[in-house]
């Protein structure tokens, strides 16, 4: 058995988008499952559109989702001589020819053909000119087969037959000496011994153009697999107007990479009714057979649900760690009062089932930072009233009389007071909630007290009592 070698080959013309991540993920999963090799290759032969910044963005994105590569990143612009020499081999073998048609002429002819309702293909006028030493600018074209069929046995779509009459004589070397995509991929996939070329569905019709090149070059043809596209809610190809498409945008919005990976894996692949997969489970269970053949609509709500799921079931220590940069950004860290890690973990446990993202979590966690309460005006006006002041005072006195802090003891004391006053739980709980957190919604009151600690619970009660007493009826 030859070892599995797969690759992810993005072009660095922008950030790493969701569709790219899924393509990379499926390749990566297969490589890890088969104990094969996952290669990162940057297809930057388009000088005008490629940027180093994009390469960095791709690398940053892959790292964030934890898709590590075993070889690369290779850059095609560093392999120019290789493509040129293989192109020359084709020329010498009579499988390629010089084309002296000008780019704008080709463009004009293409347009003309289109208006006549014809195929906008190259008409092959230089094919039999036999130019050996072009005097001016010339591009090298591959002599594509014109008869017969090219059969692609796709890992995902099955057997697909293309009539070779639809094939075009593709340019493989531009007049500036740079190879074109369809040629450099073939040379690289062959030379890098790629066993499975797995890419987006949009490359499906590139495959019958590439297969004859493998053959002309004398290389074995790899297996192909074409992943269905990811669409936006309007069923059009996923793009900016559907919301965020950059992976890093998801990082910034407070998503966990595990959640994104889980979501993307399930988008277009399934394993019975299972929805939640750990990374090792994905590696173990992934297979081509259950990859969907049809396009999938990206559903942000389901991703959000998954993220919430990971937030509340993941190890709180890890969640706390990833939360830190978000807390810093929100200015919640006072450098003179470093926050103990274990308190942060406690805080995460306190709020995690209410937050759907880390950004969300910051909001939930805000009331527990700082000595004093910051009230939401509406909440304070409604609950910190002179009418509520006497019972708040009684509660404060009783809490003060309890020496240490124990959740059970304080809860018991609280309920006894409710009983004695003939109140309902909620009648006291809401004012106290506002007194402690400044808000009308919070986790369980006694859990809140525990995280706040005895001193802050008492001081915040005191502070809120003062406001209640001073408020006008």
C-alpha distances in angstroms, 83 versus 30, 80, 419? 28, 5, 85
Q: Shortest Cβ distance from residue 337 to RNA (Å)? A: 27
Q: Shortest Cβ distance from residue 18 to RNA (Å)? A: 13
Distance CA 116, CA 179 (A): 31
- Report the residue from 75, 79, 84, 110 that binds RNA according to the rule CB under 7 A: 110
* Cα-Cα-Cα-Cα dihedral sign, residues 28, 33, 39, 43: negative
- Report the residue from 132, 147, 176, 408 that binds RNA according to the rule CB under 7 A: 176
Applying CB under 7 A, does 272 fall inside the site for RNA? yes
Residues 41-70 that bind RNA (CB under 7 A): 43, 45-46, 49
Applying CB under 7 A, does 293 fall inside the site for RNA? yes
- Report the residue from 54, 150, 180, 195 that binds RNA according to the rule CB under 7 A: 180
Partnered with residue 10 across adjacent β-strands are: none
Q: Shortest Cβ distance from residue 119 to RNA (Å)? A: 4
CB-nearer residue toward RNA: 304 or 333: 304
CB 231 within 8 A of CB 297: yes
Closest by Cα among 163, 159, 181, 161 to 171: 181
CB-nearer residue toward RNA: 214 or 305: 305
Stretch that binds RNA, among 61-69, 225-233, 317-325, 396-404 (CB under 7 A): 225-233
Question: DSSP code of 44?
Answer: -
Distance CA 434, CA 460 (A): 10
C-alpha distances in angstroms, 40 versus 5, 225, 248? 11, 17, 18
Partnered with residue 239 across adjacent β-strands are: none
Residues 417-446 that bind RNA (CB under 7 A): 424-426, 429-430, 433, 440-446
Strands (E), 239-398: 296-297
- Could you check whether the bond before residue 383 is cis, i.e. omega within 30 degrees of 0? no
Applying CB under 7 A, does 459 fall inside the site for RNA? no
Size of the site for RNA (CB under 7 A): 90
Residue 289 known to be catalytic: no
Of 102, 111, 240, 407, the catalytic one is: 240
CB-nearer residue toward RNA: 235 or 472: 235
Residues 135-174 that bind RNA (CB under 7 A): 137-139, 157-158, 160-163, 166, 168, 171, 174
Q: Shortest Cβ distance from residue 170 to RNA (Å)? A: 7
CB-nearer residue toward RNA: 440 or 459: 440
Helix H or strand E encompassing 4 = none
CB 100 within 8 A of CB 175: no
- Report the residue from 58, 99, 282, 436 that binds RNA according to the rule CB under 7 A: 99
C-alpha distances in angstroms, 14 versus 52, 250, 273, 361, 399? 10, 16, 36, 30, 59
Give the three-state DSSP class for 123: coil
Stretch that binds RNA, among 30-38, 198-206, 277-285, 454-462 (CB under 7 A): 198-206
- Report the residue from 51, 146, 290, 372 that binds RNA according to the rule CB under 7 A: 290
For the annotated catalytic residues, the residue numbers are: 240
């Amino acid at each position: 058995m030859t070892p599995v070698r797969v690759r992810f080959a993005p072009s660095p013309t922008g950030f790493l988008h969701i569709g790219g991540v899924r393509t990379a993920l499926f390749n990566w999963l297969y490589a890890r499952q088969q104990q094969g090799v996952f290669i990162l290759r940057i297809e930057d032969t388009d000088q005008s559109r490629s940027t180093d910044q994009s390469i960095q963005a791709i690398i940053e994105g892959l790292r964030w989702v934890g898709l590590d590569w075993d070889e690369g990143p290779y850059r095609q612009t560093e392999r120019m001589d290789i493509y040129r020499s293989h192109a020359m081999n084709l020329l010498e073998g009579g499988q390629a020819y010089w084309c002296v048609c000008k780019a704008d002429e080709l463009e004009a002819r293409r347009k003309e053909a289109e208006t006549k309702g014809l195929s906008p293909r190259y008409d092959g006028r230089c094919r039999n000119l036999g130019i050996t030493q072009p005097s001016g600018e010339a591009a090298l074209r591959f002599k594509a087969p014109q008869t017969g069929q090219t059969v692609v046995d796709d890992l995902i779509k099955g057997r697909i037959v293309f009539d070779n009459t639809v094939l075009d004589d593709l340019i493989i070397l531009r007049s500036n000496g740079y190879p074109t995509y369809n040629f450099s991929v073939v040379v690289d996939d062959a030379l890098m011994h790629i066993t499975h070329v797995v890419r987006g569905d949009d490359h499906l019709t590139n495959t019958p153009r590439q297969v004859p090149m493998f053959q002309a070059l004398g290389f074995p043809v790899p297996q192909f697999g074409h992943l269905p596209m990811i669409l936006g809610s309007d069923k059009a190809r996923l793009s900016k107007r559907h919301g965020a498409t950059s992976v890093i945008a998801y990082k910034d919005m407070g998503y966990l990479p595990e959640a994104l990976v889980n979501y993307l894996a399930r988008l277009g692949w399934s394993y019975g009714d299972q929805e939640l997969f750990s990374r090792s489970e994905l590696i173990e269970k992934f297979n081509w057979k259950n990859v969907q053949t049809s396009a999938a609509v990206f559903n942000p709500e389901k991703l959000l649900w998954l993220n919430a799921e990971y937030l509340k079931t993941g190890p709180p220590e890890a969640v706390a760690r990833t939360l830190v940069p978000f807390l810093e950004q929100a200015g919640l860290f006072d450098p003179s009062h470093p926050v103990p890690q274990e308190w942060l973990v406690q805080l995460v446990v306190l709020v995690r089932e209410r937050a759907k993202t880390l950004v969300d979590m910051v909001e939930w966690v805000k009331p527990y930072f700082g000595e004093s309460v910051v009230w939401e005006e509406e909440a304070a006006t409604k609950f910190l009233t002179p009418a509520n002041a006497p019972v708040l005072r009684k509660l404060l006195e009783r809490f003060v009389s309890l020496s240490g802090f124990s959740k059970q003891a304080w809860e018991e004391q609280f309920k006894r007071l409710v009983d004695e006053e003939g109140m309902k739980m909620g009648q006291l709980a809401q004012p106290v909630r506002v007194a402690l957190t400044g808000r009308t919604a919070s986790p369980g009151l006694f859990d809140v007290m525990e995280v706040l600690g005895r001193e802050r619970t008492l001081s915040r009660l005191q502070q809120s009592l003062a406001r209640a007493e001073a408020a006008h009826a």
